[in-house]
Chain A
Amino acid sequence: MIEQHLSLLLVVVPLLAAPVTAILPSGRLPWLLTLIVTWLCLVIACWQLSVVIDGSVISYELGGWSPPWGIEYRIDAMNAFVALIVSAIAAITLPYALLSVEKEIPLHQTSLFYSIFLLCLVGLLGITQTGDVFNLFVFLEISSLSSYVLIAMGEQRRALTSAFQYLIMGTIGATFLLIGIGLVYAETGTLNMVDLNQRLHPILDHRTVHTGFAFIVVGIALKLALFPLHLWLPNAYKYSPSVISVFLAATATKVAVYIMLRMVFGVFSNDFVRITPTDHMFLLLGVFGVILASVAAIYQTDVKRLLAYSSIAQVSYMVLGMGLASVLGITATLVHVFNHALMKGALFMACGALVYRVGSSRFEKLNGLGRQMPWTFTAIFIAGLSLIGIPGTAGFISKWYFVRAALEQQSWFIALVILLGSLLAVVYMWKIVEVMFLRPVSDTALSVKEAPILLLIPMWVLVIANIYFGINTELTVNVADSAARLLGVAAYHE
């Protein structure tokens, strides 16, 4: 029977731990508690996935109120999959956080830092668990508000303006989402996703529904940093503490992708996407996002900003997958959600290790550091190969599915854009490689040592995961495929 409660536990455990962490004395104790909580979440998320992986659905009625009146937590393969990604990244980030946070966050703020981190985790996990659109909005706000605070805790004063920029954009996005949900609620009188889907079906041609849909999509697109609504992201990733860059880059946009999938394909429907120009819009913005963000990444002179632009490009791939609106396309998107979390997690961790040793991620500080920090450099190199999509890495699997989804529909242009995107990734990743590997070491950097082992181990766990999930895709592909089918997306027919 405990399986029924798993979905709730995943939210309640970090939610209860957050205030406890806040009142603990600063130091390593809050870290330890957070570590335990994240590992507990990981165990629960694995368990939950093992229950629903066969295609079954867990439905939990919050407070015993049966849906559609009460809030329902509804877990299928897709929810469990995304929840697993979030909790796994959190669990891997935490061992890394110990040293990095001690270096970048003032000691007296650490208990608050971890407390807010847990709240952010609550928000992200809650989004993946709930089957109620208003509840989803609430969790989205929890995660957003806490991430504004976390970003503002960055060392430089620019962190404050970046957080403020994100706050403005994020709030607009959330407001749009709320307006959209309100309009849909006005039309249907329900907030439960399954119920909404059924009730929307006969009235899909109503103007109000269309307007609501537009508000919802734009609102989520802001959170997703979908081109051209991506302006908040580079600075937010650049100036936030290293740990937060890792965590947000690997999870926040992925959860936003999940929301988009759930709302567009789960609440509305595949047919709705096809009769409205939504799929074309996704394709158009995805193409622009892949090309322009990748080109922008090439011109960066700071590793963190470069990776941030690369994230925008990678999210655009996922949007392309949605635009293809087929089982293969959605599968590609979900596989990439997982794989991109692995590669960007590893890259931002390596970046954090560089910041830990030389205090900056600007190119001029990193000249020749590849020889001083070989393990960090190799991690960047392998994760970079995965980002490019070299076979034998996780990135290749994503690319394989994206191009196949495009070829299946004879979308030659989209297929070429996807391949062109990985070429641009070669260019920007090679900029980092050349700086770190071929430029001569500056005299000041000669004393720089390899990052401490506590930073290296989590980094390398992710690097090895990048290779492992490039060779064994049983988990990723199977789950993504069954999740795509559960969404009710039809296979593409000519």
Chain B
Amino acid sequence: MLLILLQDYWGSLHTMSDQQLLLLAVFLPFAGAIGVMLCRRWPNLREAVTLTTAATVCVVVISLYLRFLDGALLAVDIAEPLPGLTIRFEVESLGMLFALVASTLWLITSVYAIGYMRGHHELNQTRFYALFAIAIGSTLGVAFAGNLLTLFLWYEILTIATYPLVAHAGTDEARRGARTYVGILLTTSIVLLLLAILITYTITGSLDFREGGILAGKLDPAWAGLLYALFIFGIGKAAVMPFHRWLPAAMVAPTPVSALLHAVAVVKAGVFTVLKVTIYIFGTDFITSSGANDWLIWFAGSTILLASLVAMTKDNLKLRLAYSTISQLGYVVLGALLATNMSLVGGALHISMHAFAKITLFFAAGAILVAANKSEVSDMGGLGRAMPITFGTFLIGSLSIIGLPPFGGMWSKWYLGLGTVESGQWLLLCVLLISSLLNIAYLLPVPVRGFFGKARDGTTYTHIREAPVSCLIAMMITSLACLLLFFYPDPFYELALNAAGGK
């Protein structure tokens, strides 16, 4: 019976035209949000709506992926708000990679969130699930944006939709955090990014994403560095220092938000935009020939190191992870800025590899909060023996972030390293290596302390059990994925290679 239903469902996806499928991927989460709001009186039904929507979006994105592999041209214009500038969706390799990551992780996070939100007795859960769906819809909008205007549109909607999620708790702290969050993200996007977009449009008369970029030959190379800087800093979601403060501030949000949105969707939307601008607006050749990246790479390099150093000083686990994210985002930005084939492959791969690893860490942090009500690393001594699965997955996630085999994180670091060699930036290679050491220094103490340490007051935890089952399932899936991605990174690798120019 169920099988026939599934078959029907699959069949109906098959009969859809490419355009319909593409629109479905972006707008289905919004429909899901409405469904969640309608079911607000029946929590179980409401969660069922979330799960169904997430699963369907996942299937839709995967079938888009299959069609994309078949070479279908997936593009659709939905409106023309400004003469000659359309709202356009188009699937290309990089966006496909990002969409795959975001949609699969949404499904997993939904499973996790149900256990977490109930276990933690959060208020306003309907609003939470509805806005979560909208945020994912916007993320897919960013991923499939067919030109810079569309990308900017969804980028801003994503900021707005996540604001109430950050302010979720409604406390003074949450209000302050949310204010910093929206303040920095809107400021950078309105003053710097929009200005950069408008300058690009004034110069070229176009905002299309094109192979080889649209600026080459139209912009005086002397100004390229400045415009590129406007883009890099204007994309505040990429959290390049000094515009990183919003990310730690966003950690007041419930953990599923930090896990999916502030380790995957929102921040990856930022670095994804950086990659898109690099590859399709500037064009890698133009960047290297004009020297637009000469001094910017040092911003990325110092972000990587400084954020790691700050992470070491943070005792609050979520804050430590936030600074770790800033540092890891720096990797992707660096990959974009170096603008060589290998570095771009590494940067693009890192979007997916870091996503799976970091979400595991956040899941574990949330599980510790729900089960043991602890958020400070120094309080976690001995906790690992009471919660072995949680701390075990945390260990796996950490190893992947550090970049050790046999975990997926190794590949992206490998290609990034090759990228620095390819462009002759030995100093940056050192930065990457030192950063890996720093990763060890701030991530591994958590599981080590958990498994081998003692609680400060000497208690052994007998009353504490593992987090709710749905949380555990989610953590195990993502940590398994980290392992799997080492042996089988091909889908992501192919897409990354394709986006980087595939030479």
Contact = CB atoms under 8 A, between A and B. Distances in A.
Interface of B: 79-83, 87, 149, 152-153, 156-157, 160, 164, 167, 170, 174-175, 178-179, 182-183, 186-187, 190-191, 194-195, 198-199, 201-202
Contacts of A186: none
Given A397-B82, A477-B83, A389 B182 contact: no
Given A430-B179, A438-B175, A390 B79 contact: no
Nearest to A419: B191
A8 to B, nearest CB: 34
Interface string A412-454: 0001100110110010001000100110100000000000000
A95 interface: no
A440 B149 CA distance: 38
The 6 closest A-B pairs by CB, nearest first: A391-B153, A407-B202, A471-B79, A419-B191, A403-B198, A390-B156
Contacts of B164: 437
A392 B202 contact: no
B84 to A, nearest CB: 11
Contacts of B191: 416, 419-420, 423
Contact of A422 (B81, B152, B183, B190): B190
B384 to A, nearest CB: 37
A392 B157 contact: yes
Contact of B81 (A408, A415, A430, A473): A473
A403 B187 contact: no
Interface string A304-329: 00000000000000000000000000
Given A385-B160, A404-B201, A438-B170, A471 B194 contact: no
Given A416-B191, A422-B190, A477-B82, A408 B183 contact: no
A472 interface: yes
A65 interface: no
A392 B186 CA distance: 15
B231 to A, nearest CB: 15
B182 to A, nearest CB: 7
B369 to A, nearest CB: 23
Contacts of B183: 426
B87 A471 contact: yes
B198 A426 contact: no
Nearest to B79: A471
Nearest to B157: A392
A472 B179 contact: no
A83 to B, nearest CB: 24
A438 B167 contact: yes
Nearest to B153: A391
Given A438-B175, A472-B81, A477-B83, A423 B198 contact: no
Contacts of A391: 149, 152-153, 156-157
A180 interface: no
Contact of A472 (B79, B178, B199): B79
A295 B167 CA distance: 25
A400 interface: yes
Given A404-B198, A419-B195, A438-B175, A426 B152 contact: no
Contacts of A397: 81-82
A400 B82 contact: yes
Contacts of A434: 175, 179
Nearest to B202: A407
A397 B80 CA distance: 12
A95 B75 CA distance: 43
**B interface, by DSSP: helix, strand, loop or mixed?**
helix
B202 A404 contact: yes
Contacts of B82: 397, 400, 473, 477
Contacts of A437: 164, 167
A470 interface: yes
Nearest to B167: A438
A55 to B, nearest CB: 17
A400 B175 contact: no
Contacts of B201: 404
24 contacts: A388-B190, A390-B160, A392-B156, A392-B157, A403-B195, A404-B198, A415-B195, A416-B191, A419-B190, A419-B191, A419-B194, A420-B191, A423-B186, A423-B190, A426-B186, A426-B190, A434-B175, A434-B179, A437-B164, A438-B175, A438-B178, A471-B87, A472-B79, A473-B82
Contacts of B167: 437-438
A400 B149 CA distance: 11
Contacts of A408: 202
Nearest to B203: A407
A235 B194 CA distance: 35
B243 to A, nearest CB: 14
A470 B152 CA distance: 14
A422 B167 CA distance: 22
B195 A389 contact: no
A426 B185 CA distance: 11
A392 B134 CA distance: 15
Nearest to A382: B160
A440 B169 CA distance: 12
Nearest to A381: B160
Contacts of A473: 81-82
Contacts of B179: 430, 434
Nearest to A469: B81
Contacts of B79: 471-472
B199 A407 contact: yes
Contacts of A430: 179, 182
A148 B461 CA distance: 75
Contacts of A400: 82, 198
A403, A420, A470, A472: residue with the most chain B Cβ atoms closer than 10 Å: A403
Contacts of B87: 471
Nearest to A434: B175
A420 B194 CA distance: 12
Interface in A453-494: 470-473, 477
B172 to A, nearest CB: 9
Contacts of A403: 194-195, 198
B198 A392 contact: no
A440 B174 CA distance: 13
Contacts of B198: 400, 403-404, 407, 415
Interface string A240-284: 000000000000000000000000000000000000000000000
Contacts of A407: 198-199, 202
Nearest to B194: A419
A390, A399, A430, A440: residue with the most chain B Cβ atoms closer than 10 Å: A390
A172 to B, nearest CB: 38
Contacts of A389: 190
A36 B186 CA distance: 44
Contacts of B186: 388, 423, 426
A407 B204 CA distance: 13
B150 to A, nearest CB: 9
A471 B149 CA distance: 12
Contacts of B195: 403, 415-416, 419
A472 B87 CA distance: 10
A232 to B, nearest CB: 31
A423 B191 CA distance: 8
